Amino acid sequence: MKITVVGLGYIGLPTAAMLAESGHEVVGYDVDKRLIATLASGRADFAEHGVREIAQRALASGRLHPSPMPYPAEAFVICVPTPTIDHRPDLRAVESAFASVGPLVQEGNLVILESTVPPGTTAAVAKKTFLPLGIDLDGIHLAHCPERVLPGKIVEELLWNDRIVGGRRTIDAEMARTVYATFARGEIHVTDLVTAETVKIVENAYRDVNIAFANELAVLSEALGIDAWEAIRLANCHPRVDILSPGPGVGGHCIPVDPQFLADANPFASELIQTARRVNERMPHLVVRLARNLVPTGGTRRKVALLGAAYKPDVDDARETPALAIERLLSDAGYDVVAYDPLVTNYGGNVVADLEAAARDADLLILVTDHAVIRDLDPERVGRLVRSRLLLDTRNAMDLDRWNAAGFDVHVVGRGLARGASLAGAA
């Protein structure tokens, strides 16, 4: 097939590459002209290794054509971001992606939206785009096939995850199924448009609620005097319990955003979802409270070094990262804050890739992101840089024995027992 993919980000690019590798002729269109120029030179500057490789292979094959404008095709696959502004979904990128392909769409063509959207969006935007152009929706095929891959495992999950394909009509879904069947090895489930839209945000809301539960246990650990990590590990031995892990807060461009799309449908009927959001949004405040207890400002300026700025390990993505909230809260409280993250360049806060610059003379280290390079830090080396050997680990990621052996006093968020004991100065 001739396929035009609109939006060459972390989903569009590998999807375009997979389609090209499966034998389709693919035009990849993006509004970012610099990105198109880079891709046209055969390079894909993508931090995730697998994505870079598959994209470069597809570009070299000559079947993936980066383009600064969309081209007519038999199928259009739209993969553009849907952020929120003040907790409201911002659909401008989806609308303009539809508008950009609208004039090219011919009778019998297939239009697939992959972007995560509030239920009802695919049909509404399609009507708004195509009806004024004189295109009857019955004359084309319209589908929503949400991307559901995990950053860090994109290529593997694009290949092996099950796909949900929602069609305006069954025939539309079946058409879309044939496109994905050319590369997806997981099962392809066919449903209607609104159900497919809902399934995607339900998955992320479920994860948000589950993480909030783990975070609440971490907060409760102080009052209970227990180690929440141990309690969760043991509870998860039960065959029907699977609690996620506490942490400094929930970042990324999906999980903190998507539950709002559900809550928006009826704010009065979505209390659990909204409360979970608040619990997760409060975690940076808890981290900062613990940090301030460990190192009160007391007249002199204190330096805090954050270990990691990305929203999760081993990605270069810092969107909605809790590190930024932690940095801002600490700065407002009068601390000097710098984050060490060799993967993140675009952060919005004060980040450096040089460990020495970050850790030198620090009064406190806070582990925010458990990148492999951070877990593997040598505590002896770090110990020689800092002013106080004090570490607050928000993810229970560091090897306690090694850091203790190097003279570090280590506090773990959620380990109420250990922290309570040392903070209060009494067992």
Catalytic site positions: 200, 254
Q: Which of 12, 89, 247, 308 binds ligand SAJ (CB under 6 A)?
A: 247
* Per-position x/- string for 96-135, each x denoting binding to ligand SAJ as judged by CB under 6 A, each - no binding: --------------------x-------------------
**No. of H helices and E strands in the chain?**
17, 16
Considering the complex, what minimum distance in angstroms separates the CB of residue 380 from ligand SAJ? Answer: 28
Q: How far is CA 375 from CA 7, 310, 343, 415, in A?
A: 34, 14, 14, 19
Indicate whether 12 belongs to the interface with ligand SAJ (CB under 6 A).
no
State which residue, 147 or 222, has the beta carbon closest to ligand SAJ: 147
Helix or strand run (H / E) with residue 365: strand 364-367
- The encoded tokens of residue 140 equal 């084309």
Taking contact as CB under 6 A, which single stretch among the options 51-59, 134-142, 143-151, 182-190 is the one that binds ligand SAJ? 143-151
Q: Which residue has the tokens 């409270």?
A: 289
Query: Under the criterion CB under 6 A, does residue 7 sit at the interface with ligand SAJ?
Result: no
**Number of amino acids touching ligand SAJ (CB under 6 A):** 20
With beta carbons less than 8 A apart as the criterion, state whether 75 and 3 touch: yes
Cβ of residue 87: shortest distance to ligand SAJ, in angstroms?
17
Q: Is 190 left (phi over 0), alpha (psi -120 to 50) or beta?
A: beta
- Residue by residue, what is the 3-state secondary structure of 388-408? CCEEEECCCCCCHHHHHHCCC
* Smallest distance from ligand SAJ to CB 246, Å: 7
Which of these segments, 73-81, 146-154, 216-224, 412-420, binds ligand SAJ (CB under 6 A)?
A: 146-154
Task: Walk across the sheet containing 141-144 and list its strands.
Answer: 64-67, 25-29, 2-6, 75-78, 110-113, 141-144, 163-167, 188-192
Site for ligand SAJ (CB under 6 A): which residue of 255, 290, 305, 325? 255
Q: Give least dist CB 210 to ligand SAJ, A.
A: 7
244 part of the interface to ligand SAJ, by CB under 6 A: yes
Closer CB to ligand SAJ, 129 or 260, in the complex: 260
311 interacts with ligand SAJ by CB under 6 A: yes
User: Is there binding between residue 279 and ligand SAJ (CB under 6 A)?
Assistant: no
Residue 247 CB, shortest distance to ligand SAJ, in Å, is 3
Between CA 343 and CA 365 the distance in angstroms is: 18
Applying CB under 6 A, does 148 fall inside the site for ligand SAJ?
A: yes
Contact indicator for 319, 255 with CB cutoff of 8 Å: no
Sheet holding 390-393, edge to edge: 351-352, 336-340, 303-307, 364-367, 390-393, 409-412
Q: Given the rule CB under 6 A, which residues bind ligand SAJ?
A: 116, 147-151, 203-204, 207, 211, 244-245, 247, 250-252, 254-255, 311-312
